[in-house]
Chain A
């Protein structure tokens, strides 16, 4: 498949968050600020890219019956790497993301791309797909994080631009659902699905 098409599909046409609605737990859970959303997006993108690469490289050696457990072990190994590296070098971000770092293992987006794409395509396409889906995911998380930070604490990436406390509801749990709902509607309208 055309590489440009794969990239456009990952970021826009089949955006993992807004169109496919996959891996929503971290999307809602960590996006209290744009920085947290961006960090979580990059961590997931790394796991996605590496697991797509490894799965596409060894797809011919994995017996069909045990492919799902094998994919999970591959993904879990990269998640452990991310977990240890982040704990060592970015302890603040690690604390903020908390439980959602080990939970990248059960992010249906990562397993879904291994199963649906990487195990059926050549390595270069699989890497492109991992990169594109990872970018789409990161952009969605950053967008939702920015929206919640702007409305909830009147700041963006930690720089406050208006005095005051903001609308607290957008930092708390309900704001995540409501913000994602409206962002999804806007995104679908812009790409012409509605």
Chain B
């Protein structure tokens, strides 16, 4: 039951993009086409789950015993940056097809604040490892849901006659606002 609350909370109620404002750069930047946004959400799910597991272990088995939790930010970002590099190298060798699909999105992961954000939130919410993994996967699904829906709307938006001043980014931001308004309907669900 507790896991269902975490899942529904992360996907709908506190959607990582539309309610928590994490991962806005890829949300605005790579949402031009549905196909690229699907690739992006795949990469996010992969890295977010791995990063949450590794940072959880680091926090509980290195930072806490040594009493150096103030190094959280530095150690997390270093771990995430090297993890992204490692995943890239391994994927290239092991699964070239998956590497082709995720390839260009992987380097962007280092500066995706959703990854670091979820890793820090897992610690802040005092989840255990399994809860943390569920939380990460649910947040990745929430990210995927938001960005794929948004990409679908933006593909249509290109065909519409938008006022000259609002073309491009401004119109996209207002559309994102309306989506956030729709997601507010889930408030109070859990």
Q: Which of B19, B120, B181, B183 counts the most A-chain CB atoms under 10 A from its CB?
A: B181
Separation of A115 and B184 alpha carbons in the complex (Å)? 38
Separation of A22 and B24 alpha carbons in the complex (Å)? 9
List CB contacts (< 8 Å) of B85-110 with chain A: 110
Contact call B72/A102, Cβ cutoff below 8 A: yes
Q: Indicate whether A185 reaches chain B with its CB closer than 8 angstroms.
A: yes
Q: Indicate whether B134 reaches chain A with its CB closer than 8 angstroms.
A: no
Q: Indicate whether A121 reaches chain B with its CB closer than 8 angstroms.
A: no
Contact call B73/A83, Cβ cutoff below 8 A: yes
Q: Indicate whether A62 reaches chain B with its CB closer than 8 angstroms.
A: no
Q: For residue A87, which residue of chain B has the nearest CB?
A: B70
Q: Indicate whether B121 reaches chain A with its CB closer than 8 angstroms.
A: yes
Contact call B184/A173, Cβ cutoff below 8 A: yes
- Closest chain-A Cβ to B159's Cβ sits at a distance in Å of 19
Interface segment among A4-12, A72-80, A150-158: the answer is A72-80
Number of residue pairs spanning A and B whose beta carbons lie under 8 angstroms apart: 124
Selected contact of B166 from candidates A26, A73, A105, A185, CB within 8 Å: A185
Q: For residue A110, which residue of chain B has the nearest CB?
A: B111
Contact call A184/B169, Cβ cutoff below 8 A: yes
Interface segment among A50-58, A125-133, A134-142, A174-182: the answer is A174-182
Separation of A111 and B19 alpha carbons in the complex (Å)? 25
Selected contact of A173 from candidates B19, B71, B116, B173, CB within 8 Å: B19
Q: For residue B174, which residue of chain A has the nearest CB?
A: A181
Q: With A180-B173, A185-B166, A194-B164 as known contacts, state yes or no: A80 contacts B74, CB within 8 Å.
A: yes
A residues neighboring B (CB under 8 Å): 21-26, 28-29, 68-69, 72-73, 76-77, 79-80, 83-84, 99, 102-103, 105-108, 111, 169, 172-182, 184-185, 188-189, 194
Query: 8 pairs across A/B with beta carbons < 8 Å?
Result: A24-B21, A24-B25, A29-B22, A76-B74, A99-B124, A103-B120, A177-B173, A179-B177
B residues neighboring A (CB under 8 Å): 18-25, 28-29, 70-74, 77-78, 81-82, 110-113, 115-117, 120-121, 124, 164-167, 169-174, 176-178, 180-181, 183-184
